[in-house]
Amino acid sequence: MSKTNPGKTTSIVAYITIVGCLIAITMNMEPKNAFARFHTRQAFGIHVLFHALAILLTYSGMVYLAIPIYIFYFVLWIFGFLQVLNDQMKPLPVLGEYFQKWFTFIP
């Protein structure tokens, strides 16, 4: 019989849109779980980065970069989501360590 990770559900919710991430932050208030905190920070970083790039592209007129941004977002999202499903805490390539440092306000 295998034990399930108590923060797995919260972590999965975090990867489901920015609203899911905000819900996951409140879900992890009590009791706190390191696995959920790690993945909530990763997911929050992915979502914030995507929205910031979308706003930047919209106002800069570089709409032709929309498809590469969506692909980049989707690849990061899949990587993070698979880490949750495999009960791993491997940071996202390039940005994952920064997300852990920048989003320390996430409990």
Q: In the chain, what are the domain boundaries?
A: 8-102
CB 102 within 8 A of CB 42: no
* Summary count for the chain: helices (H), strands (E): 5, 0
Q: Which of 43, 34, 54, 47 is nearest to 14 (CA)?
A: 43
* Each residue's pLDDT tens digit, 70-89: 999 999 999 999 999 999 99
Predicted local distance difference test score (pLDDT) of residue 2: 43
Cα–Cα distance for residue pair 40/28, rounded to 1 Å? 9
Q: Is 28 exposed, middle or buried (0-12, 13-18, 19+ CB in 10 A)?
A: buried
Predicted local distance difference test score (pLDDT) of residue 30: 84
Please report which confidence band the pLDDT of residue 3 belongs to, taking 50, 70 and 90 as the band edges. low
* Each residue's pLDDT tens digit, 11-62: 999 999 899 999 999 998 888 899 999 999 999 999 999 999 988 888 888 8
